[in-house]
Amino acid sequence: MTYNTDMAKDHISGFNKIAVLAHPMIDQAVAHAARVAADLAAAGCEIIHGNLNDETLRSQVVGEGFDLVITLGGDGTVLRAGHLCAPYNIPILPINLGSLGFLIEISPEDWPDTLKRLMAGDYWLEKRMMLRTQVWRSDECVADFDVLNDTVIARGENLRPVHLRASLDGQVVTTYVADALVVSTPTGSTAYALAAGGPILPPELRNILLVPVAPHLSIDRGIVLAEGSTVSVTVQSDHGTIVSGDGQAPLALELGDRVDVCASEHVTRLVRFQEVDYFYRNLVSLMDQNPSAGVNR
């Protein structure tokens, strides 16, 4: 197997302390987590396991020097784990108990063999770009967070489109009149940005993607920005604009608020077992799950 620059480590020096965290709302996830934890404990690892939303467990992960987090859930579970782990350079091994699983390669049936490969050092680490988002109200930063998928500035309960002035590195590009503007990583290009008609970017890129949602007499195409760019979005509407990172609870924005988005200093590290070129092979397989695909084949 070909590895990238984050070469695999044996579990004695690398993965001694492992947290197995399950999505609390997925049937059987916690039970699966207990079985995974038992196998790892039998291999000599120090283990904690339980609910991903358990604040005590989350504090242990970052406060007690854990080396790896294994998630059981869907892509949303990986996003939440990424927020937790990225600032501490803790890799994530996702096991899929969700639906599509764009970020996940391990099925519930495969995890016993996967753990054997993990213990043997037969894996590589993939780095996924994250975005840092800051929300400015006058001269005060009222929110500061990192995302793995996207930051979305959108209309709230009011059905009227919002007016959003977008600047690139200080230069005004355009004003969008739309339901929303998605500011996405390459990882997020297969999420909301894809649903809004944006292009799919390979995960190793570090470009920012801008995709408007339902634009009215505005630029209606996604724009891929150069690596290192900073996007500033200024709210020019006074009727219920919001901002949300990775689908989390939204923050209400006011007229004149500015949302600055740039590459984060943090990355999400994912444990991989497939060849480095897995992305396109998996992408085709996932897209073919559309029931209307292949009708004429």
pLDDT in tens, 193-226: 999 999 999 999 999 999 999 999 999 999 999 9
pTM of the model: 0.89
At 197 the three-state DSSP class reads: coil
Amino acid letter, 58: R
Higher per-residue pLDDT: 2 or 230: 230
Amino acid letter, 46: E
Given the residues 6, 27, 67, 75, select the one marked as catalytic: 75
Residue 291 has pLDDT above 50, yes or no: no
| 89 and 38 within one domain | yes
Task: Identify which of 128, 169, 135 has the alpha carbon closest to the alpha carbon of residue 152.
Answer: 135
Residue 4 has pLDDT above 70, yes or no: no
Strand partners, 171: 168
pLDDT band at 6; cut points 50, 70, 90 = very low
Is there a catalytic annotation at residue 75?
A: yes
Q: What CATH number does residue 149 fall under?
A: 2.60.200.30
> How far apart (Å, rounded) are the C-alpha atoms in residues 288 and 198?
18
| 71 and 152 within one domain | no
Strands 68-73 and 46-51: unpaired
At 143 the three-state DSSP class reads: strand
Number of domains, the chain: 2
Q: What CATH number does residue 72 fall under?
A: 3.40.50.10330
**Residue 154 lies in domain:** 130-265
> How far apart (Å, rounded) are the C-alpha atoms in residues 124 and 120?
12
Q: Which of 24-38, 60-74, 194-208 has the lowest mean pLDDT?
A: 24-38
Residue 112 has pLDDT above 50, yes or no: yes
> How far apart (Å, rounded) are the C-alpha atoms in residues 256 and 165?
10
